[in-house]
Structure 1
Amino acid sequence: MTTPTHAHGHGHSHGHGIAPVSGRSLVTRLRSLMPLLGEHRRLIVVAYLAGVLHQLLLLTSSGIGAYVVARAAGGASLDQLTGWLIALGCLIVPLVVMSVADSTSAHVAAFRALADTRAKVFAAFERLSPGYMLERRSGDLGSAAVSDVEQIELFFAHTLSPLAVASTVPVATTVALCWFDWRLACVLVPVLLLLASVPAWLRRQAELHGHELRDSLGRMSADSTDTFQGLRELVNFGAHAQRLGLLRGQGARLAKAKSGHGRRGGIEYVATDTIALLGILAVLVLGARLVIAGDLDRSLFPVAVVLAAMAMLPVLKVTEVARELSMVASSADRITTLLDTPAPVSDLVSRAPAGPVVPHVRFDDVTFSYRGDQRPAVREVGFEIRPGETVALVGRSGAGKSTCANLLLRFWDVTAGSVSVGGHDVRDFPQEDLRRLMTLVPQDTFLFNTSLRDNIRLGRADASDDEVEAAARAAQAHEFIAALPEGYDTVAGELGALMSGGQRQRIAIARALLKDAPILVMDEAVSNLDAASEQAVGQAMEEARHGRTTLVIAHRLSTIRTADRIVVIVDGHVAETGTHEELLAAGGAYVELLASQLEGFVERAS
Structure 2
Amino acid sequence: MRRVARPQRSRLALALLLGALALLSAVGLMATSGWLISRASQQPPVLYLMVAVTATRAFGIGRAVFRYAERLVSHDAVLRLLADLRVTVHRRLERLAPAGLRHARRGDLLTRLVTDVDALQDYFLRWLLPASVAAAVSLSATVFTAWLLPEAGAALAAGLLLAGAAVPALAAAVSRRTERRLAPARGELTTRTVDLLTGTAELTVAGALPRRIEAVRAADAALTRLAARSSAVTALGGGLSALAAGLTVTAAAWAGAAAVHDGRLGGLLMAVVVLTPLASFEAVAGMPQAAQYRQRARRSAERVHEVIDAPAPVREPEHPLPEPATPFPLVLTGLTARHPGQERPALAGVDLTLTPGRRVAVVGPSGSGKTTLAHVLLRFLDPGSGSYTLGPDAADATALDGDAVRRAVGLCAQDAHVFDSSLRENLRLARPSATDEDLHTALAAARLDAWVRELPEGLDTLVGEFGARLSGGQRRRLALARALLADFPVLVLDEPAEHLDLATADALTADLLAATEGRTTVLITHRLAGLEAVDEVVVLDGGRVVQRGPYRELAGADGPFRRMLERERATEELVGARR
TMscore range, shorter length = over 0.9
Measure the CA separation in 1 of the matches of 2:466 and 2:357: 33
Measure the CA separation in 2 of the matches of 1:374 and 1:101: 56
Aligned length in residues = 574
2:168 maps to what in 1?
199
1:364 match: secondary structure: strand
C-alpha deviations, 1:94-126, integer Å up to 9, x for none?
443322221110111111112222222211211
1:523-534 paired onto structure 2 within 5 Å: 523-530=494-501, 533-534=504-505
1:521 maps to what in 2?
492
C-alpha deviations, 1:163-211, integer Å up to 9, x for none?
2221111222122112212111122111111112211124344231112
1:5-20 paired onto structure 2 within 5 Å: none
Measure the CA separation in 2 of the matches of 1:203 and 1:90: 38
The residue type equivalent to 2:243 in the other structure is: T
Alignment check: 8 A CA contact 2:330 2:388 kept = yes
Shift of 1:403: 1.8
Which of 278, 287, 290 is equivalent to 2:256?
287
Measure the CA separation in 1 of the matches of 2:363 and 2:517: 21
Shift of 1:76: 2.8
2:102 match: secondary structure: helix
Measure the CA separation in 1 of the matches of 2:20 and 2:495: 65
Shift of 1:535: 6.0
The residue type equivalent to 1:523 in the other structure is: D
Does 2:405 match 1:434?
Answer: yes
Shift of 1:564: 0.9
2:470 maps to what in 1?
499
Q: Give the root-mean-square deviation of aligned CA atoms.
A: 2.1
Measure the CA separation in 2 of the matches of 1:274 and 1:92: 27
1:548 maps to what in 2?
519
The residue type equivalent to 2:433 in the other structure is: D
1:203-602 paired onto structure 2 within 5 Å: 203-353=172-322, 355-422=324-391, 423-530=394-501, 533-534=504-505, 537-538=508-509, 540-602=511-573
Alignment check: 8 A CA contact 1:114 1:149 kept = yes
2:144 match: secondary structure: helix
Measure the CA separation in 1 of the matches of 2:408 and 2:318: 16
Distance 1:89 1:399, change over 3 A: closer
2:493 match: secondary structure: strand
C-alpha deviations, 1:229-275, integer Å up to 9, x for none?
11112222332222222122212211221222222222222211111
Measure the CA separation in 1 of the matches of 2:349 and 2:222: 48
Does 2:25 match 1:57?
Answer: yes
Alignment check: 8 A CA contact 1:66 1:303 kept = yes
Shift of 1:543: 5.0
The residue type equivalent to 1:408 in the other structure is: L
C-alpha deviations, 1:135-178, integer Å up to 9, x for none?
11111111111111221222223333322221111222122112
Distance 1:220 1:310, change over 3 A: same
2:539 match: secondary structure: strand
2:146 maps to what in 1?
178
The residue type equivalent to 1:101 in the other structure is: A
1:17 maps to what in 2?
none
C-alpha deviations, 1:67-116, integer Å up to 9, x for none?
11011123334232133213333444444332222111011111111222
Shift of 1:590: 2.0
Runs of 4+ in 1 over 6 A off after TM superposition: none
Does 2:14 match 1:46?
Answer: yes
1:418 match: secondary structure: strand
1:70 maps to what in 2?
38
Measure the CA separation in 1 of the matches of 2:341 and 2:114: 31
Segments of 5+ residues of structure 1 without an aligned counterpart are 1-32
The residue type equivalent to 1:277 in the other structure is: G
Distance 1:459 1:100, change over 3 A: same
Measure the CA separation in 2 of the matches of 1:401 and 1:354: 26
Measure the CA separation in 2 of the matches of 1:375 and 1:296: 81
1:3 maps to what in 2?
none
Does 1 or 2 have the higher relative contact order (CA < 8 Å, sep 6+)?
1
Distance 1:554 1:86, change over 3 A: closer
Measure the CA separation in 1 of the matches of 2:430 and 2:297: 39
Measure the CA separation in 1 of the matches of 2:282 and 2:555: 85
The residue type equivalent to 1:602 in the other structure is: E
Segments of 5+ residues of structure 2 without an aligned counterpart are none
Distance 1:573 1:182, change over 3 A: same
Measure the CA separation in 1 of the matches of 2:4 and 2:204: 44
Single out whichever of 145-154 and 157-166 deviates more from structure 2: 157-166
Single out whichever of 417-426 and 493-502 deviates more from structure 2: 417-426
Alignment check: 8 A CA contact 1:360 1:549 kept = no
Measure the CA separation in 1 of the matches of 2:562 and 2:289: 72
Measure the CA separation in 2 of the matches of 1:461 and 1:205: 56
2:283 match: secondary structure: helix
Single out whichever of 537-546 and 294-303 deviates more from structure 2: 537-546
Shift of 1:411: 1.6
Measure the CA separation in 1 of the matches of 2:405 and 2:265: 81
Single out whichever of 166-175 and 215-224 deviates more from structure 2: 166-175
The residue type equivalent to 2:462 in the other structure is: V
The residue type equivalent to 2:261 in the other structure is: I
Shift of 1:554: 2.2
Distance 1:76 1:317, change over 3 A: farther
1:121-132 paired onto structure 2 within 5 Å: 121-132=89-100
Alignment check: 8 A CA contact 2:492 2:521 kept = yes
Alignment check: 8 A CA contact 1:283 1:305 kept = yes
Shift of 1:349: 4.7
Measure the CA separation in 2 of the matches of 1:126 and 1:203: 36
Shift of 1:487: 1.8
Alignment check: 8 A CA contact 1:47 1:103 kept = yes
Measure the CA separation in 2 of the matches of 1:355 and 1:408: 16
C-alpha deviations, 1:321-346, integer Å up to 9, x for none?
22332222211211222222232112
The residue type equivalent to 1:215 in the other structure is: P
C-alpha deviations, 1:284-311, integer Å up to 9, x for none?
1211222222221111011111111222
Measure the CA separation in 1 of the matches of 2:366 and 2:24: 72
